[in-house]
Amino acid sequence: MTADIPSLPPLTSLADIEAFESVPLASRNLPANTLEVIRETVRRQPDTLAIRYIENGDKWKAARDSGETDLSRDITYGQLLANIYRAANLFRATGIGDSDVVSMVLPNVPEAHYVLWGAEAAGIVAPINHMLDASEIGEIIQSAGSKVLVVMGVHEEFDIAEKLATIRAHAPSVEHVFVVGAMPQHAEDCQSFEDALAQHADDGLTFDREVRPESIASLFHTGGTTGLPKLAQHSHSNEVYTAWALNLVLQYRSGDTNITGLPLFHCNAALASGLLSFMHGCTVLLTGINGYRSPGILSNMFHLIEHYRVIGFASVPTIIAVLSQLPTEGCDLSSLKVAGCGAAPMPVELFNKFQNATGVRIAEGYGLTEATVCSTMCPPAADPPRIGSIGLRIPYTRVKSAILDSKGVFVRDCEPDEVGIVLVNGPSVTPGYLDSSKNAALFVTDSNGDVWLNTGDLARQDNDGYFWLTGRSKELIIRGGHNIDPKSIEEVLVTHPAVNLAAAVGRPDSYAGEVPVAYVDVVSDVSEEELMEYCREHIGERAAVPKAITIVDSLPVTGVGKIHKLTLNLMELKLVIDKELAKLQDNWVSCRVEPQLDPKLGAMAHIAIRCPEGVVESDVDAAVREALGAFSFPFTLDVSY
């Protein structure tokens, strides 16, 4: 079966999307599973490059400048499929059945794609964030019931081999461990992944299995949840649909090159960059063993784009912030058409800086693991651009804002521009968590009897169909695109004998979007630095360690006694604004900052500055807007005498 990959003008309005949907999704002939996606592309173009791998950007640049031609490790579509067959056959030989799980703790190396799609052909894959604490990694593997584990070997930029003993101690379900690259010490019962692959057939599957669209393909864990992260199930149809539908907006074509620098343990890189590219015959430029974090990748990003005629890449605001500071002189960026950004709101000033530097408009999107990467996106060609919007729903996915009661029960749909909880329905929505007991709050049934995914995020939809995020009812802190549950901080702090209550919130940050901070009330003497050190020792995830802890007499509470985090959010907003304005203030008569919750815009601030005579108001206005434009929060500004 060949997928219907239509050639069509860009979908730039809700009317375009609705017209496209006049053909039922069932008539679009999508492949039944992820292996068939890659098989179809191999039938069309086996010799096209599927993956081009560059481990270190600085070494790549030095080799290119010296005239070398062997700059990357290249894998054709034929070679990719051969290695996926080998991996699938290997996993079956170890006893992996249709419902058994292969966990992988791998960086951004080509072998990760062999494991991803080979494991989905043989059973189920569970990619895991290597930056988590070793015991937590092991416990996630055990929660998935994984029989096979594939990990990275000894590497100067990757430390998982050092964690392997601890991981295994927490994951007794694992029967086989395969190591990519150099073997760690004291790993006598581990096997070389490369050697094991070579022992298996590369021209097809050696076992019979009907992988249906509804078959479970993967378990992607959610970020930053209380206790163990939840494992969200993705079906093959979830993943195939996402790779197909998202490209209706992005419009990648055969032969295009896009950069993958986000980590492959996240479904964005695996699906929205990986499987999407493989479905449409594109080349994935896999940059750096640790993606964008690898040496010389970001600093040489524009050179990579020019050299390989890159058409697009996916990112988060922190990546855009770095790229906006890089010089573009001497770099031909005319190939670049798509700069995707998600995971956190995009500051307007940052959007403008990037566009001014590159000539490319950022396409903001919105999604979550439970909805297989992406539910809305701003069309790159939208006119006029909606800076700050998360865009229109993607074709065949339904998205709406709704009012829910205090127990999460549906009350009604929102009116245009009315803020409510974002609900998603459609072919990308997860069948549920692996632990079904956690599904109760995941789904909502509306007045028509339709079941929707409750994202927990707050947004409004305007009259043109564009969505605008205004907050997160789930209270997640998003640091550089990484989700941090405040409870993972609070539950550590309250174990300290001096702490009575703790509340963690996000502080606006010009680089990371926001960073975690905590407020505590205490029952005995303790310093804020002591509590910081306690967090550093007891919070396994480095990104979740608070940047600051403030001891208060009491935490603000609601009328029913719950901690009122909105008050703390607004306090942090004012603190940041006051700090930034203090850098600018010279001889202002007064400066008043009033943070508040706006029904449409969410947390924002009204700023009023009075200047003495002789000061040019427009200069003050421009300076303040430039200083605060690096942040994602909205504000109003009144400068007067």
Separation of alpha carbons 45 and 281, rounded Å: 7
For the cut 50, the answer to whether the pLDDT of residue 2 exceeds it is no
pLDDT one-digit tens code per residue, 131-186: 888 988 999 999 999 999 999 999 888 888 888 999 999 999 999 999 999 998 88
pLDDT at 9: 67
Give the pLDDT score at 472.
65
For 192-196, 197-201, 324-328, 339-343, which range has the lowest pLDDT when averaged over its residues?
A: 339-343
Count how many residues are written for the chain. Answer: 641
In the predicted model, what is the mean pLDDT of residues 4-10? 60
pLDDT at 150: 98
Angle at 99 between CA 30 and CA 107, to 5 degrees: 75
pLDDT at 347: 67
Which of 68-77, 113-122, 561-570 shows the highest mean pLDDT? 113-122
User: What is the per-residue pLDDT across 394-421, written as a single tens digit (0 to 9) for each?
Assistant: 999 999 999 998 788 999 999 999 989 9
Q: Does 226 have pLDDT greater than 60?
A: no
* Percent over 90 (pLDDT), the chain: 62
Query: According to the per-residue pLDDT averaged within each range, which of 172-181, 327-336, 434-443, 600-609 is highest?
Result: 172-181
Nearest-angstrom CA–CA distance, 489 and 518 = 8
Q: In which region does residue 379 sit, left (phi positive, over 0), alpha (psi from -120 to 50) or beta (all else)?
A: beta
Residue 373, token pair as written in the block: 């990467």
Using CA atoms, how far apart are residues 77 and 86, in angstroms rounded to an integer?
A: 14
The answer to which of 15-24, 103-112, 331-340, 380-389 has the lowest mean pLDDT is 380-389
Q: Which of 207, 274, 340 is nearest to 50 (CA)?
A: 274
pLDDT for the residue numbered 182: 92
pLDDT band at 225 (very low <50, low <70, confident <90, very high): very low
Highest mean pLDDT, choosing among 354-363, 459-468, 501-510: 459-468
Lowest mean pLDDT segment, chosen from 40-44, 268-272, 581-585: 581-585
Residue 335 pLDDT > 60, yes or no? yes
pTM attached to this predicted model: 0.81
Top mean-pLDDT range of 352-366, 423-437, 537-551: 423-437
Task: State residue 8's pLDDT score.
Answer: 63
Phi-psi region of 595 (alpha: psi -120 to 50; beta: other; left: phi over 0): beta
Say yes or no to pLDDT of 601 above 90.
no
More confident residue, 346 or 73: 73
229-244: pLDDT as tens digits: 799 999 999 999 999 9
Average pLDDT over residues 462-478: 82
pLDDT beyond 90 at 6 = no
Q: What pLDDT score does 453 carry?
A: 97
Structure tokens at 362: 């950022």
Radius of gyration for the chain, computed over Cα atoms and rounded to the nearest angstrom: 25
Mean pLDDT of the chain: 90
Q: What was the pLDDT predicted at 1?
A: 43
Q: What's residue 486's pLDDT? A: 83
pLDDT for residue 301 is more than 90? yes
Task: Give all strands of the β-sheet with 73-76 in edge-to-edge order.
Answer: 73-76, 49-54, 283-287, 257-260, 310-315, 338-341, 362-366, 376-377, 392-393
Q: Of 128-142, 378-392, 456-470, 530-544, which gets the smallest average pLDDT? A: 378-392
